[in-house]
C-alpha cells in the first residue's frame, strides 16, 4: 500500500521541535499562566480578606534576611535547604526559608510591642527551600502567615485554628486538624531521653531508615515524623509525649481542645505530630485534606503552626509568648476541586462584635462564626480587652451595628445591640440576634429607598 503524503495543513499544525537554546525552568519552580494566575490571585485575595475580617494587621518583611536570624531557630540539620546569597562581607545572607523569624525581627526592631497589647500580624509572600523534590513541594512557594505575639492563653490557638478551618471551608476544601502538645523544654528533655533509650534498645536501631539513624543522637523527636514504613511501625511501640507533659502544659492543651469542641472544629489528637521547627513548644497543629468520607487524602499538610514562646527572647527580646500559623497557597490551590466556581463576595454593612472577659471572647468567637456563615459582614477585635478601644475601632471601620457581649449578657442569655449612627441601644435575646439583624437590614434598605424616592419627587 502506497504511503500517503502529509498535507501542507497537517505539516503546519505539527508543533516545532523545542530549540535546545531555550533556557529551562529551574527544578522545583513553577510558572503561573493564564487561568492559573486568576485562580492564584483569587486565593491570595481570599487570604487578604480573612486577615482583614479577623483583624490581623498586615506586615511585609524582606525576602532576603541574615543567616544569623535563621541558624538557631529553624529546622534541625537542614542548613543545606538554605539558598545563600552573595553580598556584604560582614555577614552571610539567605533567601528566607520561613516568614515567622522575619516578622519577629520586625516586631522587635520597630517596637511593635510597646503598647503592651497582643500584636496580631498577617504576612504573605514567597519562601525558598532547597528541599527534596516531590509532589506538592516547590523550592519557591507562597505562604500566608498569621502571628499572635504577646498572648499566652489557649484561646489564641482556637482563634488561629478557626481562621484556617474557615479559610479552607470557604474554598471548598475539607480538612482535619491534626493536633498535639510537645510540652515545654523540660518536658521534651525528659521525653527525649526516654525516646532515645527506647530506640537504642537491642534490634530497634537497625530497623530505622538511614536518615533516622543519623538523627537519633541529634534530634530524636524528628523520628516520630518519619513516613518510612519501618519507622512508622516501630514508633507505634514508642512512649508518647502526653505521658510526660507538665501540669501546666497538660492544662493548656486540655483547654485548647475544649475550645475546639465548643467551636465544632474537626480535629484528631495525633501523638506523633512534632512539626519540623526547633522553636515550637506546647501546642502544635497541621491541616490535612480529607475525602468526602472523612478519610485522609495523603499526608501533605496544607498548613500548620504552633506555639513558639521562646522565639522572641532568643532573638533578643524580652520573654514574650507567641503563636503562629502558616498556609501554603500552592498546595491549597491544588486541592480546590472546581476553581471556576470561585466567586468573590461583595461587602455589606459591617456588624462589629465587642466583648468583655475571656468567656465573652469565646462566646463572641462562636457568634462571629455563626453570623459570618449566615452571610453577615462581621468584624471584631478579640486582641483588645477594652470596650472603649473596640468601639473606636468599630467607628473607624464605619460599622453600622455593634453587638456587645459581657459577663451579664452571658448570664442573662442576651446581647446588647448598638446602632453606631444614633447611639441607640437595645437588649436582644441571644438566640434571636440573627433574626433581629435581618430585620434591621430590611429597615435600613427601606429608609434608603424612601430617601431615593424623596430626592426624585421633592419629598423631605
Q: What class does CATH assign to 35-184+246-339?
A: alpha beta
Query: Which pLDDT tens digit goes with each residue over 99-126?
Result: 999 999 999 999 998 888 899 999 999 9
Distance CA 204, CA 220 (A): 14
pTM metric for this prediction:
0.80
User: What is the model's pLDDT at position 106?
Assistant: 96
Q: pLDDT tens digits, the chain, 460 residues: what are they?
A: 455 554 444 444 455 556 678 888 888 888 888 888 888 999 999 999 999 989 899 999 999 999 888 886 655 545 678 888 877 666 789 999 999 999 999 999 999 988 888 999 999 999 998 877 766 678 999 999 999 999 999 999 999 999 999 999 999 999 999 999 999 989 888 998 998 999 888 788 888 888 888 888 778 888 888 878 888 888 888 888 889 999 999 999 999 999 999 999 999 999 888 886 778 999 999 999 998 888 888 768 899 999 999 999 999 999 999 999 999 999 999 998 777 666 444 455 889 999 998 889 889 999 998 998 888 889 988 777 888 899 988 888 888 899 999 999 999 999 999 998 888 999 999 999 999 888 876 655 544 445 444 443 333 2
Residue with cell 511585609: 60
Q: Where are the domains of the chain?
A: 35-184+246-339, 350-457
Q: What is the 3-state secondary structure (H, E, C) of the chain?
A: CCCCCCCHHHHHHCCCCCCCCCCCCCCCCCCCCCHHHHHHHHHHHHHHHHHHHCCCEECCCCCEEEHHHHHCCCECCCHHHCEEECCCCCCCEEECCCCHHHHHHHHHHCCCCCCCCCEEEEEEEEEECCCCCCCCCCCEEEEEEEEEECCCCCHHHHHHHHHHHHHHHHCCCCEEEEEEECCCHHHHHHHHHHHHHHHHCCCCHHHCCHHHHHHCCCCHHHHHHCCCHHHHHHHCCCCCHHHHCCHHHHHHHHHHHHHHHHCCCCEEECCCCCCCECCCEEEEEEEEEECCCCCECCCCCCEEEEECCCHHHHCCCCCCCEEEEEEEHHHHHHCCCCHHHCCCCCCCCEEEEEECCHHHHHHHHHHHHHHHHCCCEEEECCCCCCHHHHHHHHHHCCCCEEEEECHHHHHHCEEEEEECCCCCEEEEEHHHHHHHHHHHHHHHHHHHHHHHHHHHHCCC
Q: Which residue from 335, 221, 228 is spatially nearest to 284, judged by alpha carbons?
A: 221
Provide CATH code, domain 350-457: 3.40.50.800
| Cell numbers that stand for 277 in this block | 521547627
Amino acid at each position: 500500500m502506497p504511503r500517503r503524503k502529509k498535507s501542507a495543513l497537517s505539516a503546519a499544525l505539527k508543533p516545532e521541535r523545542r530549540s535546545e537554546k531555550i533556557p529551562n525552568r529551574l527544578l522545583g519552580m513553577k510558572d503561573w499562566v493564564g487561568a492559573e494566575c486568576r485562580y492564584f490571585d483569587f486565593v491570595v485575595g481570599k487570604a487578604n480578606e480573612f486577615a482583614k475580617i479577623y483583624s490581623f494587621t498586615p506586615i511585609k518583611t524582606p525576602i532576603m534576611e541574615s543567616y544569623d536570624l535563621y541558624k538557631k531557630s529553624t529546622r534541625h540539620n537542614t542548613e543545606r535547604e538554605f539558598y545563600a546569597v552573595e553580598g556584604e562581607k560582614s555577614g552571610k545572607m539567605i533567601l528566607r526559608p520561613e516568614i515567622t523569624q522575619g516578622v519577629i525581627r520586625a516586631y522587635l526592631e520597630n517596637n511593635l510591642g510597646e503598647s503592651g497589647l497582643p500584636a496580631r500580624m498577617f504576612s504573605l509572600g514567597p519562601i525558598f527551600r532547597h528541599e527534596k523534590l516531590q509532589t506538592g513541594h516547590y523550592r519557591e512557594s507562597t505562604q500566608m502567615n498569621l502571628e499572635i505575639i504577646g498572648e499566652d492563653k489557649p484561646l489564641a490557638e482556637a482563634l488561629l485554628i478557626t481562621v484556617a478551618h474557615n479559610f479552607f471551608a470557604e474554598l471548598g476544601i475539607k480538612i482535619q486538624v491534626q493536633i498535639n502538645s510537645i510540652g515545654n523544654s523540660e518536658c521534651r528533655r525528659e521525653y527525649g531521653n526516654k525516646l532515645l533509650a527506647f530506640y537504642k534498645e537491642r534490634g530497634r536501631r537497625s530497623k530505622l531508615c538511614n536518615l533516622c539513624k543519623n538523627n537519633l543522637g541529634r534530634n530524636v523527636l524528628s523520628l516520630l515524623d518519619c513516613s518510612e514504613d519501618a519507622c512508622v511501625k516501630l514508633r507505634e511501640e514508642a512512649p508518647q509525649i502526653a505521658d510526660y507533659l507538665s501540669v501546666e502544659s497538660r492544662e493548656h492543651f486540655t483547654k485548647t481542645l475544649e475550645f475546639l469542641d465548643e467551636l465544632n472544629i474537626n480535629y484528631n489528637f495525633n501523638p506523633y505530630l512534632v512539626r519540623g521547627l526547633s522553636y515550637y513548644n506546647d501546642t502544635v497543629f497541621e491541616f490535612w485534606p480529607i475525602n468526602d468520607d472523612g478519610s485522609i487524602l495523603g499526608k501533605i499538610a496544607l498548613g500548620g503552626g504552633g506555639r513558639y514562646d521562646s522565639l522572641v527572647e532568643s532573638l533578643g527580646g524580652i520573654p514574650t509568648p507567641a503563636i503562629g500559623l502558616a498556609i501554603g497557597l500552592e498546595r491549597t490551590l491544588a486541592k480546590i476541586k472546581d476553581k471556576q466556581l470561585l466567586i468573590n463576595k461583595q461587602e455589606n454593612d459591617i456588624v462589629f462584635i465587642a466583648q468583655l472577659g475571656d468567656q465573652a471572647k469565646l462566646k463572641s468567637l462562636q457568634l462571629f462564626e455563626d453570623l459570618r456563615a449566615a452571610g453577615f459582614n462581621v468584624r471584631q477585635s478579640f486582641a483588645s480587652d477594652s470596650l472603649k478601644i473596640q468601639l473606636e475601632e468599630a467607628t473607624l471601620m464605619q460599622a453600622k451595628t455593634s453587638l456587645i457581649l459581657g459577663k451579664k449578657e452571658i448570664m442573662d442569655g442576651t446581647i446588647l445591640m448598638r446602632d453606631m449612627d444614633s447611639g441607640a441601644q437595645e437588649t436582644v435575646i441571644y438566640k434571636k440576634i440573627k433574626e433581629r439583624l435581618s430585620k434591621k437590614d430590611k429597615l435600613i434598605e427601606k429608609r434608603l429607598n424612601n430617601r431615593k424616592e424623596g430626592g426624585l419627587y421633592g419629598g423631605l
